[in-house]
A and B are shown apart, each in its own frame.
Chain A
């Protein structure tokens, strides 16, 4: 049982870090094709069942009364194709998630629940996972689902093309074995705890071997546009730039589910148009930008739900990245001054329209590992000016002490303007380069041509991957959402290493508390705020679960 408890903790090291999901390329605010949603709950991922009983998702008795109807969901961006195993695109998973299943599902608190796998067993050394598959599952074309599909999907698709699985699982996986049709065994080279967090339909959707083993390259496979899954909904049609239509899978293995006859993902790139379509009743479910939340929530018969997740990740902290490789950002007093000059309250009010809160440190205030004793950041331009004066950075003839080039994606243009105004108050001239998301990431993380960058670092359910990557000095490399500041502190590196090894949860929280105190003093980054997403639907639609990426599996209409 000793190994067991260690395992339990390590399970928390979830790789479910859908960090900084690329916002959908829409002209206005990203319409949030959220792949992973953080729950409000601050509890840690608790004990996964080492050998759960097959929990047949008991269908509610009044099934028939819930059955029927069409659910029209606004998608801001065209998915492109519908193969979720070879892409991490949020826009793709938003609709494709309803077609497939993972071995496990994750509930609102990120606890693994049986899905294609009824139960699982983890050896004491943490190196071998044995999954028992649900019997009688059929693909949409009627063929039976077996362990061969799982092995094939991992070996030929996920481990090669799914960026997160490729990065997270591939280096440590030894082999996958299929002793019989309903058993899959994952063998790892070293103990690997986060696996159960990486097996849901977002991280590891299972695709049919009989379809994908023939017919061409996975990226260009015809089935990507005529997908066959095991999921609650079956594919009907995909008209690019227009809609994805799915229909109820009558033979879904979770009996009784789903309820809607038809699911339509309607692609509306313009946010203003999408909201008007929602108000006119042409669509049922829409992402609402902060500026409209108040107005929309006052509409009769409309429910606005908030999610602490930002644009597509969980426990995300929107962060300014100062480049420590460039003077004077390498100096602590300068960073302290800049941090003091940021008016976070104003950003929350005017940029987020109060759909979020000011950040208090590197870790999200809603995460279980957040240290609540941390003070809130002070906004004090006078003090900041003093700091810069005493640092010897006097104002020049033009009233500026120095210039900083900020490379930000156009999704945060408003924040950029507030920041520029804030820094101008202390004599720091910010030259804004507002570019598209792709170019901003390339400039900051790959080419490193910036003084100030921006990222939404999504912490995920465990600090190990979502937080550590931004601070660990071994992660200063040309990779997206790595340690972009190029921050080096051996003490921090060591504490992260101790944190992941610590089996006692209380001790572990203490380690992260210490880490947070160091980081808040060192200010390697400027943590701005944590935004919340808002979603509107009619009050006749119930039980939408956007955090699963199979958002309509349980949804029903009471109209």
Chain B
């Protein structure tokens, strides 16, 4: 079962094909910047995001580029620090869910039969769990630990990719090239990972990017309902706080919103680039 991961990747130069797409490069650029900002947030942010440094509801100025919130805390520093939580929530959730989802979807779709039944029942059961309630519960039980929240979101998010991949596999597994591979005596596992998975994977990549977005947005939604962790420096919390000042302090919701949009845009562009780059090259 332990096939090297490279097996799943199309043979040659997929990164060159990626680099040929300007949109994908822009996305990657933004993504890298965001990653750097997250890593060096302490250095980049001019002030501690949780410490009062200005008047309450200070409008954007040279000293405080993005203004300050109702407790006089620098919004720029908060937005900078918010990248960390966003990336943790997004990446951990997407990784967890894609990993589980891919395995389940592939086995379920390709092996079929009894396995398919079992795995799909499990998938359905997980789908039926009330995700929002689960999130509330986990926040209550595990407190402020954002890694936990992200992992748990991942554990509830994987059903999407699983079903997606299964449907792809179902439509691929009886195609000519798979049958051809089988007829020349290729090992079933090899067929699964070498021929079926790469050809079925594109929508899952899109879905993974979508899950980064989904996780960040779920955190924002929970925060909006007051179910998030208010002590966390996250864009969701900033937006949640901002809605009280939607009429009086525009900077509080414009900047975190923009940061959030940029991040999602970047993951989207990267995903699109990957889709094109990873397009199956079986016939070349």
Within the complex, are A and B direct neighbours (CB within 8 Å)? yes
Identify the A interface with B (CB < 8 A).
Answer: 27-29, 271-272, 275, 289, 291-292, 295, 349-350, 410, 413-414, 416-418, 420-421, 432-436, 439
Within the assembled complex, what's the spacing in Å between the Cα atoms of A62 and B191? Answer: 91
Q: List A contacts of B72 (CB < 8 A).
A: 350
A295 & B247 in contact (Cβ 8 Å cutoff): yes
Contacting residues, chain B, for A350 (C-beta < 8 A):
56, 70-72
Q: Which 5 A-B pairs have the closest CB atoms?
A: A413-B230, A410-B226, A432-B231, A434-B230, A27-B225
Selecting from B166-174, B238-246, B267-275, the interface stretch reads B238-246
- Across-interface contacts of B224 in A (CB, < 8 A): 27
Is B140 at the interface (CB under 8 A from chain A)? yes
Say whether B51 faces chain A, with CB atoms less than 8 Å apart. yes
Closest to A439 in B: B140
Other-chain contact of B244, A291, A421, A432 (Cβ < 8 Å): A291
How distant is B126 from chain A, measured CB to nearest CB, in Å?
Answer: 25
Q: Could you tell me the distance in whole angstroms from the C-beta of B80 to the nearest C-beta in chain A?
A: 18
Beta-carbon contact of B230 and A421 below 8 Å: no
Q: Which of A289, A292, A434 contacts B229 (CB 8 A)?
A: A434
Complex Cα gap A272–B245 (Å): 9
In Å, the complex CA distance between A130 and B233 comes to 61
B245 surroundings in chain A (CB, below 8 A) = 291
Which chain A residues lie closer than 8 Å to B248 at the CB level?
A: 291-292, 295
Q: How big is chain B's contact interface, by range?
A: 20 to 34
Please tell me which one of the listed residues A272, A416, A417 contacts residue B246 in the complex, with CB atoms under 8 A apart.
Answer: A272
Q: How far is the CA of A418 from the CA of B50 in the complex (A)?
A: 9
Residue of B at shortest CB range from A289? B244
Q: Which residues of B contact A416 (CB under 8 A)?
A: 230-231
CB-defined interface of B243-284 with A at 8 Å, one 1/0 digit per residue?
A: 111111000000000000000000000000000000000000
- Chain A residues with Cβ under 8 A from B144's Cβ? 432-433
The answer to whether A418 and B247 have CB atoms under 8 Å apart is: no
**Bound complex: CA A414 to CA B50 (Å):** 12
Find B56's partner among A349, A413, A420, A439 (CB 8 Å cutoff).
Answer: A349
A84 to B70, CA, bound (A): 38
Distance of B204 from chain A, by nearest CB (Å): 34
Q: Given A272-B244, A416-B231, list of 4 further CB < 8 A pairs?
A: A28-B243, A271-B244, A414-B71, A435-B140
Is B143 a contact partner of A433 (Cβ separation < 8 A)? yes
Q: Which residues of B contact A439 (CB under 8 A)?
A: 140
Q: How far is the CA of A410 from the CA of B50 in the complex (A)?
A: 17
Complex CA gap A421/B245 in Å reads 22
Distance between Cα atoms of A205 and B51 in the complex (Å) = 49
Distance in Å from the Cβ of B166 to the closest Cβ of chain A?
Answer: 37
Q: A289 — which chain B residues lie within 8 A by C-beta? A: 244
Closest residue of chain A to B229, judged by CB? A434
Q: How far apart are A302's CB and chain B's nearest CB, in angstroms? A: 14
Structural contact, A421 and B50, CB atoms closer than 8 A: yes
Minimal Cβ-Cβ distance residue in A for B230: A413
In the complex, B52 has a CB within 8 A of chain A: yes
Q: A28-B244, A434-B231, A439-B140 are in contact. Are A418 and B70 (CB under 8 A)?
A: no
For B71, what are the chain A residues with a Cβ–Cβ distance below 8 Å? 350, 414, 417-418, 421
The 0/1 profile, CB within 8 Å of A marked 1, for residues 120-149 of chain B is: 000000000000000000001001100000
The chain A residue with its CB closest to the CB of B225 is A27
Q: Which applies to chain B's interface (DSSP): helix, strand, loop or mixed? A: loop
A327 to B117, CA, bound (A): 57
- Residues on B facing A (Cβ under 8 Å): 50-52, 56, 70-72, 140, 143-144, 224-227, 229-231, 243-248
Expressed in whole angstroms, the minimum distance between the Cβ of B222 and any Cβ of chain A is 10
**What are 26 A-B contacts defined by CB distance under 8 Å?**
A27-B226, A28-B226, A28-B243, A28-B244, A272-B244, A291-B70, A292-B244, A292-B248, A295-B248, A349-B56, A350-B56, A350-B70, A350-B71, A350-B72, A410-B226, A413-B230, A414-B70, A416-B230, A418-B71, A420-B231, A421-B51, A432-B144, A432-B231, A434-B229, A436-B227, A439-B140
Residues of chain B with a CB closer than 8 A to A413's CB: 226, 230
**Are B50 and A417 interface neighbours, CB within 8 A?**
yes
Residues on the B chain within 8 Å of A292, using CB: 244, 247-248
Residues of chain B contacted by A28 (CB below 8 angstroms) = 226, 243-244
Residue numbers in B under 8 Å from A434 (CB-CB)? 229-231
Q: Given A27-B226, A436-B226: A417 and B231 within 8 A (CB)?
A: yes
A416 CB, min distance to chain B CBs, angstroms: 7
Contact B244 A417 (CB under 8 A): no
Cβ of B250 to closest chain A Cβ, rounded Å: 13
Complex formed: what's the CA distance from A514 to B140 in Å?
42
Q: CA–CA, A295 to B244, complex, Å? A: 13
CA distance A275 to B248 in the complex (A): 13
Q: Determine the residue in chain B with the shortest Cβ distance to A434.
A: B230
Chain A residues within an 8 Å CB radius of B230: 410, 413, 416-417, 432, 434
Q: Report the separation of the CA atoms of residues A410 and B139 in the bound assembly, to the nearest whole angstrom.
A: 13
- Specify which chain A residues have a CB less than 8 angstroms from the CB of B52 in the assembled complex: 421
- Enumerate chain A residues within 8 angstroms of B226, measured Cβ to Cβ: 27-28, 410, 413, 436
Residues of B within 8 A of A435 (CB): 140
A435 to B225 Cα, complex, angstroms: 12
- The CA of A413 and the CA of B72, in the complex, are separated in Å by 15
Nearest residue in A to B224 (C-beta to C-beta)? A27
- With both chains docked as a complex, state the minimum distance between the C-beta of B146 and any C-beta of chain A, in angstroms: 14
Tell me the bound Cα distance from A68 to B30 in angstroms.
Answer: 61
Q: How far is the CA of A369 from the CA of B225 in the complex (A)?
A: 39
Docked CA distance A368–B57 (Å): 37
Contacts of B50 in A (CB 8 A): 417, 420-421
Alpha-carbon distance A29/B224, docked complex (angstroms): 12
The residue on B at minimum CB distance from A343 is B52
Docked pose: A413 CA to B144 CA in angstroms? 14
CA distance A289 to B244 in the complex (A): 9
Q: Whole-angstrom distance from the CB of B148 to the nearest CB of chain A? A: 14
Identify the closest chain B residue to A430 (Cβ).
B231
Q: Which residues of B contact A432 (CB under 8 A)?
A: 144, 230-231
Q: How far is the CA of A439 from the CA of B137 in the complex (A)?
A: 11
- Report how far A50 CA is from B224 CA in the complex, Å: 53
Given the complex, which residues of A lie within 8 Å of B247, measured CB to CB? 272, 275, 292, 295
CA distance A292 to B248 in the complex (A): 8
Measured CB to CB, the nearest residue on chain B to A291 is B244
Most buried by A among B50, B51, B70: B70
The residue in chain B whose Cβ has the minimal distance to the Cβ of A408 is B230
The answer for the CA separation of A129 and B166 in the assembled complex, in Å, is 76
Say yes or no: B243 contacts A272, CB within 8 Å: yes
Please measure, in the bound complex, the distance between the C-alpha atom of A417 and the C-alpha atom of B229, giving whole angstroms: 12
Q: State the Cβ distance, A293 to closest chain B Cβ, in Å.
A: 11
Q: How far is the CB of A533 from chain B (nearest CB, A)?
A: 16
**Neighbouring B residues of A414 by C-beta, 8 Å:** 70-71
Q: Please measure, in the bound complex, the distance between the C-alpha atom of A179 and the C-alpha atom of B98, giving whole angstroms.
A: 76
Nearest residue (CB) in B for A26 is: B226
The answer for the CA separation of A149 and B5 in the assembled complex, in Å, is 78
Bound-state Cα–Cα, A291 to B56, Å: 11
Shortest Cβ distance from residue A207 to the other chain B in the assembled complex, whole angstroms: 35
Q: Chain A's nearest CB lies how many Å from the CB of B47?
A: 13
CA distance A28 to B242 in the complex (A): 11
Chain B residues in 8 Å Cβ range of A27:
224-226
Shortest Cβ distance from residue A139 to the other chain B in the assembled complex, whole angstroms: 41
Residues of A contacting B140 with CB < 8 Å?
Answer: 435, 439
A413 to B56, CA, bound (A): 16
A414 to B231, CA, bound (A): 10
CB-CB under 8 A from A349, the residues of chain B are 56
Contacts of A410 in B (CB 8 A): 226-227, 230
